[in-house]
Amino acid sequence: MKIKNILPLSTILLSLATASVSANPPLAYEGRALYVSYCQLCHGVKGKGDGSLAKAMHIQPADLTTTVRSRSDTILKKIITGEGKQTITGRDRHNILSDAMPEWNDIFNAEQVDALISFLRFLSRSKHQLMGDPEVGQQIYYKYCKVCHGEDGDGDGIMTKLIGIVPTDHTNPNETSIYNNQQLAESILDGKGRFMPAWRGIIKQSDVEGLVSYIRLLSN
């Protein structure tokens, strides 16, 4: 039997797709989910210290996009858990934290604190905003993209060996931060080179924005 119509690659891949979700999501991704639930109310969506509870606080929540840059991971750990308040207080004027910042010691385990720190680093150093919902992005990524870009996004999906291609490594900031959000979205919608398929008509605009946001967190 002869196959007359060659299906577009992206259509073939739909049938290979699975929707399973990683047991090891990227740290900044996991940190963002915690941030949204526990920190955003005070520190705001972008970390600027302008969350909806900020007005009610007698001390303004810190603008994390400027303060976090000069903090080491060790200090951030202490600030978040509240464990090191004694040590921190008095070392320099920046290190005096009031009780207005809650202590999270009993709430997060060490891995979750690391994840939060990873996301705070993203907030303070990424020149690109998260334009869509990365949680939606992750689901779509697992469904359509991991066959080539790999489970962890580093470009070693099963298809790479089968058809001998080298997809972009989304965990490498040098490969993604050179593009703005609009450019990444266009690559996804229109495809790139011979083997990066076009997804226009398959993935809707808001989901493409979620994918771009997920890729940003992968490379942090």
Four-point Cα dihedral 108, 113, 116, 117, nearest 10: 160
Give CA–CA dist 139/21, Å, rounded: 7
Q: Is 196 in the site for ligand HEC (CB under 6 A)?
A: yes
Q: Is 41 in the site for ligand HEC (CB under 6 A)?
A: yes
Give CA–CA dist 125/111, Å, rounded: 21
Out of 147, 171, 213, 217, which residue is the one contacting ligand HEC (CB under 6 A)? 147
Q: Between residues 80 and 130, which has the closer beta carbon with respect to ligand HEC?
A: 80
Give CA–CA dist 168/171, Å, rounded: 9
Nearest CA to 29 out of 183, 200, 220 is that of 220
Region 57-96 residues binding ligand HEC, contact defined as CB under 6 A: 57, 59, 61-62, 64, 67-68, 71, 76, 79-80, 94
219 is written with which tokens?
Answer: 């490379």
Q: Is 187 in the site for ligand HEC (CB under 6 A)?
A: yes
Give DSSP secondary structure letters for 70-101: G--HHHHHHHHHSTTHHHHTTSSGGG---TTS
The residue type of 215 is I
Out of 46, 156, 195, 198, which residue is the one contacting ligand HEC (CB under 6 A)? 195
Q: Between residues 3 and 120, which has the closer beta carbon with respect to ligand HEC?
A: 120
Residue nearest to ligand HEC (CB): 193
Q: Is 145 in the site for ligand HEC (CB under 6 A)?
A: yes
Burial status of residue 52 (CB atoms within 10 A of its CB: 0-12, 13-18, 19 or more): exposed
Q: Between residues 122 and 144, which has the closer beta carbon with respect to ligand HEC?
A: 144
Q: Between residues 24 and 168, which has the closer beta carbon with respect to ligand HEC?
A: 168
- Which residues make up the interface to ligand HEC (CB under 6 A)? 9, 13, 38-39, 41-43, 53, 57, 59, 61-62, 64, 67-68, 71, 76, 79-80, 94, 97-98, 100-102, 104, 116, 144-145, 147-149, 159, 165, 167-168, 179, 184, 187-188, 192-193, 195-197, 199, 203, 211, 215
